[in-house]
Chains A and B, each alone.
Chain A
Amino acid sequence: MTNELSRRDLLRLSAAGVAATSLSGWLPVLASHAAQSGARHKACIVLFMEGGPSHKDTFDLKPGTKDGGEFKPIPTSVPGLQISEHLPKVAKWMHEGAVIRSMSTGEGAHGRARYYMHTGYKEGVGGIVHPTLGSIVSKELGRPDFAMPNFVAVGRGAYGAGFLGAKHQPLVVTDTKRGVENLRPFTSSEQFDQRIGLLEEMESAFHREYKAASAVDHRTTYARAVTLMKSKEAKAFDLSLEPESSRSKYGSGNFAEGCLLARRLVEVGVPFVEVGLGGWDTHQDNFDRVKRLSQQIDQPMAALIGDLKERGLLKDTLVIWMGEFGRTPRINARGAKPGRDHYPRAWSTAMWGAGMKAGQVIGETDKEGATVTKRPTSGLDFLATVCTLLGITYTKNNNTPNGRPIRIVEKGATPIAELLS
């Protein structure tokens, strides 16, 4: 609460302090704050598999059992840990990460499950909209004086800031080729600067006479937007600046480019990026589709983890692979190319980096992948683990606009101790 106030005051002060000067006066103030804020913070990249990926066909294979499916397991860089044959590049990075095979949750409809796994709360309870993980990270780890947004979502489905407010909303990049929309002036940059100068001149009388906090906030946001337009960090959004050699490591397509964009953003200090990939709702034609999807994620995920490692960023960056639930252990009877249906009772997630005790498998399911037999992990346990790895106190309260305290993660969560060092 006090933290929030002082941030706000800081913003107001920095804007008010330059109220009487021209645009050239705005920017250095913000830039100097950015330069002072020093120590590198942790960051998080969520790769969200929309639709609910089949655990038995990705990270928890059950070869030779009933409805075990067509895929073969392959060894990974961790002795004894095997994953799908269609994730060979990811397999080489398992020593830097962990698979959680004991996810067990209660929501089996896409919307509600996605909301739950993003926020840790059941949708609609208590009449409030809860903040998504990215907004929580933006609030807890983001710098208000940073030229860049603190939460970037590539594709759809990341959910929003809920009661934390617009400052923690994601900046959404729908098309990686276009990057941030409206980042370039509509006119030439000379004309743009001239317009900003005129705006400054015209505004000063209004600001002086009305002394409105909203007007100060308006100006502050403009200063940040203009700073972003002119900042070198914003170049992180422009994938064409990436050398061809490293672009090709990721492959092509919106998800691959999303992974590359995530790396570029984390590199310049953005604390949270979510990249979504749809298509995992494989009620029909499960095996062809999961194979194709696995091939689609294998190369960019491996490239992302590899790049982060190579640049010394992986120790501070948590990369999470997850969906909203798993899929039925049974293969259904839908036509010639059957599939698997929604299954929240037992499923898998995987994560890498951020100083975790890597190279592990957490929990276990029975031989059909139907029931968790070891260390059941609820959505709350999962989010508490993520928060702890990121250095966020998950028991902390945030207040709604009406002053109601809401914990970051609800009571009843136990972080996975085996992963924490």
Chain B
Amino acid sequence: MNRSKLIIRWGQGLVAALTATLLALPALSAAENKAPAPNESKNAKALAAKIDQRIEARLREEKVPASPAASDAEFLRRVSLDITGVIPTAERAKAFLDSGDPDKRAKLIDELLASPEYGKRMADVWQDLLLTRTSDNRRMNPAPFYAWLKENFNANKPWDRMTRELLTASGTQDKNAAVTYFVANESVDKITDNVTKNLLGVQLQCAQCHNHPFTAWKQTEYWAMAAFFMKVRADNANRAVRQGSSPGVSEGPQINRNRRALPESAKMVPAKFLGGEQPKLIEREAYRPIVADWITSPKNPYFARAMANRVWAMMFGRGIVNPVDDMHEGNEPSHPELLKDLADGFIASGFDVKELIRAVALGKTYQRSSKPVEGNADTDRALLARMPIKVLPAEMLFDSLVQVSGSAPVREGRPARQGRGPAAGPRQQFVNFFRADEGADPTEYNHGIPQALRVMNSAQFNRTTLVDQLTRNGPKPEEAIERLFLSVLSRRPTSAETTRFTAHLTKAGLRSGCNDVLWVLLNSSECVVNR
């Protein structure tokens, strides 16, 4: 049985039994892909301990007090959003809060990683990063690529293999969705920028036109890296859609001098790995497998670090190197040894992404409250004395809204038009409306007036399905209030909140009062942030 299948089954309820039996087995090097899955928990725990050690050492050094552990409710909502991109149902929240199992947090992490929503969350993050949307590809259908990402993340395909498949993809989009990466980044400069930025965590794009102002990257180094992609032929997505065909990607024997592929600014220099050697190339043979080998090698100085830093940023709203895709000597990591530990652990696990997330989520650092204590309210965020408070990205807001209202939203997508590419569905339309800009700080609230108006006043956010269900059997006001809090905020109300809202329900009537409470919770700052 392959390892990814095991992990999924493992998360579906066999956790306790398997952990107990298999913890006794000798630890195998995870780099050997045949290693059975369950010893991963041990590796993850060891890495989690290292994380805490590094973070705490620094806090002691800086004499900054750490906030206490997060409450179960804080942890539940946070880890659900970070791993699956959606808040838990009221039932799930209640069960978790009421459980006396001392190991319930670790079990929850495994359950979330095994849920299909995990792949969706990762696909949301990575589709945004990998597909550059411009007018040149506005008719492109991203759906097959999204499905490809989702499926691979859910199956926990090792990151080096996924990356290799992306970088060497050939064929048409309907046969191999991974080619979408090159279709969306049709020109040599776009694909070079994207690969270096997202897969290597290095911003090279400035060096396209001039030597990089803050780093040692020279213009020739940019074009030497770009040279690996110069033989790629990617169909223009708009044209393919107009013609009713599926766009394709291939690598030819010669440089593709099509105006769309090769910008005027291109410099012709021999292909050379970024900051590395100049490989011997045979012109008739494909270059992409060669650069893919170099990128995904455990020895690559950027690749594992870049992903470790990304995963860290996904969980903490800030990279150890920040901005997350801008690693260079002038931009020091906040915790250099920690970044190395994470990258080493990631390599040792065979580029196992779930394992990396598991390790981060198991740590005390991740499980700390976001409430400040005396002496850490205004300290450097990077120290992680408390959990940073992130703002829900548009996708999370949408999925969580659907979770609360218990049904798909009212607003329907436009019907697709022949030759025009796919129409945006309700989720995509919502995301387009609420989306923050590229590179925005995940802890900043970026909505404007139109977004606030939509949350307050649109039919979409004023659905009464939940209240209708809830009030059908005439519950006591306190029960109804508790249920609303669990549904929206994944916590029980405080006694002050119960008292205040019970008074309101008595005055306004059960149904109307419950709709008021639901409105208040959906419009609260607490709802729109991940604390």
- Please give the residue numbers on chain A whose beta carbons come within 8 Å of chain B beta carbons, in ascending order: 109-112, 114-115, 123-129, 149, 161-163, 165-167, 169, 171-172, 180-186, 191, 194-195, 198-199, 201-203, 205-207, 209-215, 217-219, 221-222, 224-225, 228-229, 400-402, 404
Whether the pair A115, B456 counts as a contact (CB closer than 8 A) is no
A-B contact pairs, 20 of them (CB 8 A): A124-B187, A125-B209, A161-B437, A162-B437, A163-B437, A167-B446, A171-B449, A181-B450, A181-B454, A186-B458, A198-B517, A202-B497, A214-B390, A217-B445, A221-B449, A221-B452, A222-B456, A222-B523, A401-B437, A401-B439
Q: Which of A127, A149, A205, A400 has the most CB of B within 10 A?
A: A127
Interface residue from B132, B135, B441, B457 paired with A182 (Cβ < 8 Å): B457
Query: What chain A residues lie within 8 Å of B206 (beta carbons)?
Result: 126, 404
Whether the pair A214, B391 counts as a contact (CB closer than 8 A) is yes
Interface residue from A211, A224, A400 paired with B449 (Cβ < 8 Å): A224
Interface residue from A127, A198, A203 paired with B525 (Cβ < 8 Å): A203
- Please give the residue numbers on chain B whose beta carbons come within 8 Å of chain A beta carbons, in ascending order: 132, 134-136, 138, 187, 190, 193, 197, 203, 205-206, 208-209, 323, 326, 370-372, 377, 389-391, 436-441, 443-454, 456-459, 462, 494, 496-497, 500-501, 504, 516-517, 519-521, 523-526, 528-529, 531
Top 9 closest A-B pairs, CB basis?
A: A111-B135, A215-B525, A225-B452, A217-B445, A182-B457, A127-B205, A166-B446, A182-B453, A214-B445
Query: What chain A residues lie within 8 Å of B437 (beta carbons)?
Result: 129, 161-163, 165-166, 401
Q: Looking across the interface, which residue of chain B has its beta carbon closest to that of A194?
A: B516
Whether the pair B389, A210 counts as a contact (CB closer than 8 A) is yes
Interface residue from B136, B205, B370, B494 paired with A210 (Cβ < 8 Å): B370
* Shortest distance between the CB of B525 and any CB in chain A (Å): 4
Q: Looking across the interface, which residue of chain A has its beta carbon closest to that of B507?
A: A194
Whether the pair A195, B436 counts as a contact (CB closer than 8 A) is no
Whether the pair B525, A214 counts as a contact (CB closer than 8 A) is yes
Given the interface contacts A181-B458, A228-B449, does A112 sit within 8 Å of B135 by beta carbon?
Answer: yes
Q: A163-B438, A214-B443, A214-B529 are in contact. List 10 more A-B contacts (CB 8 A).
A: A115-B135, A124-B187, A167-B446, A167-B448, A171-B449, A195-B519, A199-B524, A203-B525, A218-B445, A404-B206
Query: What chain A residues lie within 8 Å of B449 (beta carbons)?
Result: 149, 171, 221, 224-225, 228
Interface residue from A198, A221, A229 paired with B504 (Cβ < 8 Å): A198
Whether the pair B134, A124 counts as a contact (CB closer than 8 A) is yes
Q: A128 vs B437: C-alpha distance in the bound complex, in angstroms?
A: 10
Interface residue from B134, B209, B444 paired with A214 (Cβ < 8 Å): B444
Q: A209 vs B529: C-alpha distance in the bound complex, in angstroms?
A: 14
Given the interface contacts A182-B457, A186-B457, A206-B526, does A124 sit within 8 Å of B190 by beta carbon?
Answer: yes
Query: What chain A residues lie within 8 Å of B531 (beta carbons)?
Result: 210, 212
Q: Looking across the interface, which residue of chain B has its beta carbon closest to that of A109?
A: B135
Q: A161 vs B436: C-alpha distance in the bound complex, in angstroms?
A: 11
Interface residue from B390, B453, B517 paired with A225 (Cβ < 8 Å): B453
Query: What chain B residues lie within 8 Å of A201 (beta carbons)?
Result: 500
Whether the pair A185, B439 counts as a contact (CB closer than 8 A) is no
* Shortest distance between the CB of A4 and any CB in chain B (Å): 13
Whether the pair B525, A182 counts as a contact (CB closer than 8 A) is no
Whether the pair A180, B326 counts as a contact (CB closer than 8 A) is no
Whether the pair A171, B448 counts as a contact (CB closer than 8 A) is yes
Q: Looking across the interface, which residue of chain A has its beta carbon closest to that of B208?
A: A126
Interface residue from A198, A206, A222 paired with B516 (Cβ < 8 Å): A198
Given the interface contacts A124-B134, A191-B516, A199-B524, does A212 sit within 8 Å of B462 by beta carbon?
Answer: no
Q: Looking across the interface, which residue of chain B has its beta carbon closest to that of A160?
A: B437
Interface residue from A110, A126, A184, A203 paired with B524 (Cβ < 8 Å): A203
Q: Looking across the interface, which residue of chain B has its beta carbon closest to that of A168?
A: B448
Q: A212 vs B386: C-alpha distance in the bound complex, in angstroms?
A: 12
* Shortest distance between the CB of B412 and any CB in chain A (Å): 16
* Shortest distance between the CB of B181 and any CB in chain A (Å): 16
Whether the pair B529, A205 counts as a contact (CB closer than 8 A) is no
Q: A401 vs B531: C-alpha distance in the bound complex, in angstroms?
A: 23
Given the interface contacts A166-B437, A180-B453, does A202 sit within 8 Å of B458 by beta carbon?
Answer: no
Q: A115 vs B134: C-alpha distance in the bound complex, in angstroms?
A: 10
Q: A221 vs B454: C-alpha distance in the bound complex, in angstroms?
A: 12
Q: A91 vs B445: C-alpha distance in the bound complex, in angstroms?
A: 48
* Shortest distance between the CB of A126 and any CB in chain B (Å): 6
Interface residue from A162, A181, A221, A404 paired with B448 (Cβ < 8 Å): A221
Q: A168 vs B250: C-alpha distance in the bound complex, in angstroms?
A: 41
Whether the pair B447, A171 counts as a contact (CB closer than 8 A) is no
Whether the pair A110, B453 counts as a contact (CB closer than 8 A) is no
* Shortest distance between the CB of B468 and any CB in chain A (Å): 16
Whether the pair A112, B456 counts as a contact (CB closer than 8 A) is no
Whether the pair A218, B528 counts as a contact (CB closer than 8 A) is yes
Query: What chain B residues lie within 8 Å of A115 (beta carbons)?
Result: 135
Q: A217 vs B193: C-alpha distance in the bound complex, in angstroms?
A: 33
Whether the pair A123, B389 counts as a contact (CB closer than 8 A) is no
Whether the pair B516, A185 counts as a contact (CB closer than 8 A) is no
Whether the pair B456, A185 counts as a contact (CB closer than 8 A) is yes
Given the interface contacts A127-B205, A209-B371, does A149 sit within 8 Å of B444 by beta carbon?
Answer: no
Query: What chain A residues lie within 8 Å of B450 (beta carbons)?
Result: 149, 169, 171-172, 180-182
* Shortest distance between the CB of B185 and any CB in chain A (Å): 10
Whether the pair B448, A127 counts as a contact (CB closer than 8 A) is no
* Shortest distance between the CB of A165 and any CB in chain B (Å): 6
Given the interface contacts A149-B449, A171-B448, does A401 sit within 8 Å of B456 by beta carbon?
Answer: no
* Shortest distance between the CB of A33 and any CB in chain B (Å): 16
Whether the pair A127, B193 counts as a contact (CB closer than 8 A) is yes
* Shortest distance between the CB of B247 and any CB in chain A (Å): 17
Query: What chain A residues lie within 8 Å of B501 (beta carbons)?
Result: 198
Q: A228 vs B453: C-alpha distance in the bound complex, in angstroms?
A: 9
Whether the pair B457, A111 counts as a contact (CB closer than 8 A) is no
* Shortest distance between the CB of A394 and any CB in chain B (Å): 21
Whether the pair A111, B134 counts as a contact (CB closer than 8 A) is yes
* Shortest distance between the CB of A272 and any CB in chain B (Å): 14
Q: Which of B197, B448, B462 has the most CB of A within 10 A?
A: B448
Query: What chain A residues lie within 8 Å of B436 (beta carbons)?
Result: 165-166
* Shortest distance between the CB of A5 and any CB in chain B (Å): 14
Interface residue from B135, B447, B459 paired with A186 (Cβ < 8 Å): B459
Q: Looking across the interface, which residue of chain B has its beta carbon closest to that of A162?
A: B437
Q: Looking across the interface, which residue of chain A has its beta carbon closest to that of B449?
A: A225
Q: A221 vs B451: C-alpha distance in the bound complex, in angstroms?
A: 9
Q: A191 vs B456: C-alpha distance in the bound complex, in angstroms?
A: 12
Q: Looking across the interface, which residue of chain A has its beta carbon closest to that of B434?
A: A166
Whether the pair A212, B447 counts as a contact (CB closer than 8 A) is no
Whether the pair B457, A183 counts as a contact (CB closer than 8 A) is yes
* Shortest distance between the CB of A160 and any CB in chain B (Å): 8
Q: A195 vs B504: C-alpha distance in the bound complex, in angstroms?
A: 10
Whether the pair B448, A166 counts as a contact (CB closer than 8 A) is yes
Interface residue from B203, B370, B525 paired with A218 (Cβ < 8 Å): B525
Q: Looking across the interface, which residue of chain A has its beta carbon closest to that of B531?
A: A210
Whether the pair B439, A402 counts as a contact (CB closer than 8 A) is yes
Q: Looking across the interface, which residue of chain B has its beta carbon closest to that of A206?
A: B526
Q: A39 vs B203: C-alpha distance in the bound complex, in angstroms?
A: 43
Q: A115 vs B454: C-alpha distance in the bound complex, in angstroms?
A: 28
Query: What chain A residues lie within 8 Å of B389 (beta carbons)?
Result: 210, 212, 214-215
Whether the pair A210, B371 counts as a contact (CB closer than 8 A) is yes
Q: Looking across the interface, which residue of chain B has its beta carbon closest to that of A186?
A: B462
Interface residue from A109, A215, A229 paired with B453 (Cβ < 8 Å): A229
Q: A123 vs B260: C-alpha distance in the bound complex, in angstroms?
A: 13
Interface residue from A167, A195, A219 paired with B520 (Cβ < 8 Å): A195
Q: Looking across the interface, which residue of chain B has its beta carbon closest to that of A212?
A: B389
Q: A109 vs B239: C-alpha distance in the bound complex, in angstroms?
A: 13
Query: What chain A residues lie within 8 Å of B526 (beta carbons)?
Result: 203, 206, 215
Q: A128 vs B454: C-alpha distance in the bound complex, in angstroms?
A: 28
Whether the pair A129, B445 counts as a contact (CB closer than 8 A) is no
Query: What chain B residues lie within 8 Å of A400 (beta carbons)?
Result: 439
Q: Looking across the interface, which residue of chain A has its beta carbon closest to that of B378?
A: A211
Query: What chain A residues lie within 8 Å of B453 (beta carbons)?
Result: 180-183, 225, 228-229
* Shortest distance between the CB of B66 and any CB in chain A (Å): 16
